[in-house]
Structure 1
Amino acid sequence: MRRTPRIRRARQDNSGARSRPQVVAHRGSSHDNPEHTLAAYVKALDEGADALECDVRLTADGHLVCVHDRNLLRTAATPGLVSTMNLAELDELDFASWKSPWAELDDEAPDRDPEAGKVLTLRKLLEMVADYDRHVELAIETKHPTRYGGLVERRLVETLGDFGWDGAGSPARIMSFSLNAANRVRRLAPELDVVMLVDKAHHWPVLRPVVDDRWIIGPGIKELREHPGLGKHLVKAGREIHVWTVNTADDLQICLDLGVTAVISDRPAHMLELLGSAD
């Protein structure tokens, strides 16, 4: 029988009660489901994820879609670029089959809803979150560089505004590896939470003097694992920390030891199981 690895709780809230980090589904429950599809996000919510993470890119006709790569080779088997295609063209593509290419030959595989594998617009994802029967947060990453520059952040803030989510108390926070993008969000929507993503540990000394004290810092788990001084410096500076992409018990323990407030994972159900087993 499979045993759940033992996780040691490390943080407490101000009342002394034990707390746990927010579990954020990275591109949905993407370990077992095709990333950024409606099916992956529905599965993540069914598994109990506290929040959903997505990447957004702008189509040629001005729609924000949830796609990570600038080209579509990996997830839709076409060499096209998201930024040069209209939404109607993207809507003709299959964004799900790549995850299980032999499924149609498996007589025991469950039938797949073709609609669940279509390109997902940010608006549709927001509508699902707004209609869900419990509070769900969103971590939305804008991808750069892009031919549309700051228009991506402008369209994103406008779309959040349509839901009343562009001010204080919004369930959404905006993330980017681009300092310019983070600054644009701060100008466009000063009350939205901003996450400055950090790709390499040696980038932090350069970013530290120019990153607003109120911003959340988002390092990758690989950098925290290989450069433990990064985590120590962030904790010492009193920074709120959100970590990507946390998929194993060992990596979760690093996060708990640092007292991070969110873990972004391809395996939200596994993270919740591990956290449930903690002392």
Structure 2
Amino acid sequence: MSTRAPDRPLVLAHRGASDEYAEHTLAAYLAALEAGADGLECDVRLTADGHLVCVHDRNLRRTASTRGLVSTMDLADLDQLDFSSWKHPWAELDDERPDQVEEHGRVLTLRKLFEVVADLDRRVEIAVETKHPTRYGGLVERRVAELLRDFGWDRPGGPVRVMSFSYTALQRMERLAPDVQLVQLIEHIPYWPVLRRVVGRDWLLGPGVKLLHESRRLGESITRAGHDMHVWTVNTPDDLRVCQELGVRAVITDRPAYLLDLLEQQAGADG
């Protein structure tokens, strides 16, 4: 694997290599790591018995074909569900499909994802998004902070940054783990003039790439305010170009192998 040029953005796998594999499954994250992703991104929710799991939606209709809510189910119950078949519903009819490891398609806990990264022989960043609103409120951030302490990743220079669209949630996280990097996500352009007055000086900003396409001034304003950017979800050459022109620090993508290949081609052409 080639060494990352200092001026190229970090490539973080959005819910794993989720263009090819079912999002938030171990299979998706292992594929992203195999591709050489610089980091992994995940969404977290709390189960009824207090476990942090990597699931985006509050309900399980889309990814596990059940009407249940993550917040009302115990981890043991979630572990009985199939979180991968929705992505490739006809896979069992493919005789050339490689055998699947059952654990790789089950619900993934944040602890397990941390364990996988901790066992690697290279540094891999992890961007953890806490989802709000939730019935458990601030307990989500408290559980994340506890887990970070378990791994010793609550100290300066740790590989984990915590993201949220909720400014209140990030304030809470700052109190619980003051040395952990925070990322204020932005979904709408008009939110920035308000946020720029209140976000922490050292916080990163996370606009969606569509906002940067709509308004280059947004990206320039964030940079002038002294904030690095983590941009989502960057999947095309045009998305990548916009981010590079604005000096974005990290891009979050469903297609980590593809983006890394684009960046390698650029490096070869420049060399």
Q: CA deviation at 1:18?
A: 5.8
Pair 1:193-2:152 in alignment:
no
Give how far 1:238 is off.
2.2
Aligned match of 2:211: 223
Query: Partners in 1 of 2:40 and 2:158 — Cα distance?
Result: 14
Distance 2:258 2:93 in 1: 29
Question: In structure 1, what residue type is equivalent to 2:142?
Answer: R
Q: Which runs of 5+ in 1 are unaligned?
A: 1-16
CA distance in 1, matches of 2:177, 2:11: 25
After TM superposition, the score normalised by the length of structure 1 is 0.93
Which one is further off, 261-270 or 18-27?
A: 18-27
Residue aligning to 1:212: 200
Name the residue aligned to 2:244: 256
How many pairs does the alignment contain? 263
Q: Does 2:263 align with 1:247?
A: no
Counterpart of 1:94 in structure 2 is 82
Aligned to 1:31: 19
CA contact (8 A) 2:233 2:253 kept: yes
Q: Distance in 1 between matches of 2:182 and 2:201?
A: 11
Higher relative contact order (CA 8 A, sep 6+): 1
1:62 corresponds in structure 2 to: 50
Normalising by structure 2, we get a TM-score of 0.95
Q: 2:170 aligns with which of 179, 182, 186?
A: 182
> SS at the partner of 1:83?
helix
Partner residue in 2 for 1:164: 152
Identical amino acids, percent of aligned pairs: 65
Partner of 1:83: 71
Give the Cα–Cα distance (whole angstroms) in 2 for the partners of residues 98 and 18 of structure 1.
39
Q: Which moved more, 1:104-113 or 1:217-226?
A: 104-113
Matched, 1:266 2:254: yes
- For residues 97 and 38 of structure 2, what CA distance do their matches in structure 1 show? 29
Query: Who is 1:149 aligned against?
Result: 137
Structure 1: which amino acid aligns with 2:185? L
One-letter code aligned to 1:263: V
After TM superposition, what 4+ stretches of structure 1 lie above 3 angstroms from structure 2?
Answer: none
Shift of 1:169: 1.6
Deviation at residue 203 of structure 1 after TM alignment: 0.7
Tell me which amino acid in the other structure corresponds to 2:145: V
Instruction: State the 1:214 CA deviation.
Output: 0.9
Judge conservation of contact 2:196–2:225 (CA < 8 Å) in 1: no
8 Å contact kept, 2:128–2:162:
yes
Q: Which runs of 5+ in 2 are unaligned?
A: none
Match of 2:102 among 114, 138, 147: 114
- How far the C-alpha of 1:267 sits from its partner, in A, is 0.5
| RMSD, matched Cα | 0.9
Of 91-100 and 105-114, the range deviating more from structure 2: 105-114
Letter in 2 for 1:166: D
Q: Which residue of 2 aligns with 1:6?
A: none
Shift of 1:213: 1.3
In the alignment, the residues of structure 2 paired with residue 113 and residue 164 of structure 1 have an alpha-carbon distance, to the nearest angstrom, of 30
